Structure 1
């Protein structure tokens, strides 16, 4: 593949949904920057993808620190030359009874989920606006729409804030060629969901109108659509995939 292929940065891209998104964008012809707090997992995935086609690089980053996000952008541009797509997927979950969440736990979840997304939208969005083109996709959650607390009330609150941030950045950057959208998954068939719910998984599935967990591969397809040049008329949107748990 050409070195001129578009570059996509996926935060939290080494495992789970982030890994599926990185694989999908890479398969679609993007050079991929896998940014994750786990250097080992990111390096392993980058090596796997790079052996199959376009370039793939691993970057270690804690998105909760703005300076780290700035360094990530600089490193990717130094290595790959540009960034056309940003997927803000990095997130922290913690199943904790709502009234027992401590200030420190609240800060830790908000720091990654909201602050990390906000910082990345600022840093990458500014650079994209200067070039006149960009696609930003934020990973939200059903919990941020309906107030579900199975993954923690602080997680739900952070994802609700991500949805608001998506709108404000979309409004700010629209005239400069940069779209900002969100994808809001419901419960996915993922190791994280199975670990969080344990014996309660069957009960959860029984309560989903379509009677099944979602597919991470399909969520990755949704992200790829929003990340494409053809998605120029979609901004400030939230695309839902929740099995009918939240209708609007």
Structure 2
């Protein structure tokens, strides 16, 4: 199997306009990857990329709605033309809609699963074959504690999509293992992101009380774990779901 030097590798991160996705893109860029930041919000993706490289030589922002296959394929062509074919794919794009299972409309169910789960299938099938041909690649999928425990706060459709990601990760890992491409999942819980800015402080304080380490996680901590899984030392790790939850779920 060939080894791709990180200084010459290319990474694509979805949902990279802010929060965990932007932190992952920053970490991979710091690790020597050229990075494409894909987000439905082009302005956010471009701004995040500019913070990494204002000359757009080693970091670019591209726009696509991961629910739309044609838009995704167009964005991937832009990435290939400007940076090259990605060696690393981080499937981070996601949608959360807190709602009781009884109140979820079927169209909303389909929309959340298309955003969170079908996009993983689409992007992995689009990019992993070329990684396999080159003999090296990394795919990391962002799942969630909700996908492990059936959490209801984020919505049953969100939890179901994240559970599906764990299974899909294992399927792709087995398919690609012999080719030098690893596929893993990262399962964060209670990470401080911009979404929390709109939550009541008393609700946040109550949530912290249930976390053994006594605080929320940081996006940079999740990015550090993803960075390891995308690096040269993680070649013997595949099909795994890595927990990063402050001790909320231990196994």
Sort the TM-score into its range (normalised by shorter chain).
Answer: over 0.9
Deviations 1:174-233 (A, max 9, x none): 111110001100111112144356541111111112221111101000000000022110
Deviations 1:45-70 (A, max 9, x none): 11221138961111101111222232
CA contact (8 A) 2:13 2:35 kept: yes
Q: Does 1:169 align with 2:167?
A: no
CA contact (8 A) 1:95 1:196 kept: no
Name the stretch that deviates more: 193-202 or 236-245.
193-202
Deviations 1:92-148 (A, max 9, x none): 111112211110111110010001111111111122112211100000100000111
Name the stretch that deviates more: 104-113 or 3-12.
3-12
The residue aligned with 1:108 is 111
CA contact (8 A) 1:42 1:58 kept: yes
The residue aligned with 2:91 is 88
- Structure-2 separation of matches of 1:181 and 1:197: 34
Structure 1 ranges of 4+ moved more than 4 A = none
The residue aligned with 2:70 is 67
The residue aligned with 1:124 is 127
Please give the TM-score of this superposition, normalised by the length of structure 1.
0.94
Please give the TM-score of this superposition, normalised by the length of structure 2.
0.93
Aligned length, in residue pairs: 247
For the aligned residues, what is the CA RMSD? 1.9
Q: Give the gaps of 5 or more residues in structure 2.
A: none
Secondary structure class of the residue paired with 2:184: strand
Shift of 1:33: 0.2
Q: Give the gaps of 5 or more residues in structure 1.
A: none
- Structure-1 separation of matches of 2:172 and 2:198: 33
After TM superposition, list the pairs within 5 Å mapping 1:16-35 onto structure 2.
16-35=19-38
